[in-house]
Copies of this chain bind each other. A is one copy, B any other.
Amino acid sequence: MARTQGSRAEITGPLLRDEARRLFARQGYAAVSMRQIAAAVGVQAGALYAYTTDKQALLFDLLETHMQDLLAAWRDDPLADPLARLHRFVDFHIGFSLDHPDAVFLSYMELRNLSPDNFARIADLRGRYEAALEDILRDGVAAGTMRIEDAKLTTLALIAMLTGVTNWYREGGRLDRARIMQIYWGLARGAVGA
């Protein structure tokens, strides 16, 4: 492959995604122009189209990659105690959300800007993640260590509660991450009647 003057493909590619994610999360997909992203990357707008076919593909790639990373990072042990599995899920979800706050925000806010096909693919990935938590809750009920009225609703309620940390968490704030996880585990444990 011939080397071209001024080429920085190795860093422009990842940087494009990083800056797009940050700007989309901060201002919203529709409010961010390709020129604005290009400026943050340090190239001219035309150069971006060597890395993405269009703006929509860029958004979908960010959301799909995030959901796949989330699913790949979660490792459950179906044979362990359901309460211990739930505790691990709480810590995992909070930790992953705080590690990727922009991606989490995007995945909730910009679904409406996806084409119907792209939306369906992201919704499917999200459904699989929710199913992971719902399995834990059903096992807990079966084991008699959890009291839950509706496993599906409790799943959605817990995820909404946990994801909410990204709305107010600030590095160096009043509580550190371990303490936050501890508090939310207390809330989740109580919510499932344990």
The interface of chain A, by Cβ under 8 A from chain B, is: 26-31, 109-110, 112-113, 149-150, 153-154, 156-161, 163-164, 167-168, 175, 180, 182-184, 186-188, 190-193
Number of copies: 2
User: Which listed residue, B28, B110, B150, B190, touches A193 by the CB 8 Å rule?
Assistant: B190
Please report whether the interface of chain A is mostly helix, strand, loop or mixed according to DSSP: helix
Whether the Cβ atoms of B28 and A113 lie closer than 8 Å is: yes
Residues of B within 8 A of A153 (CB): 175, 180, 183-184
User: Which listed residue, B149, B167, B187, touches A154 by the CB 8 Å rule?
Assistant: B187
User: Which listed residue, B26, B109, B110, B191, touches A191 by the CB 8 Å rule?
Assistant: B191
Residues of B within 8 A of A186 (CB): 149, 193
Q: Given A175-B153, A191-B187, does the pair A28, B112 have CB atoms closer than 8 Å? A: yes
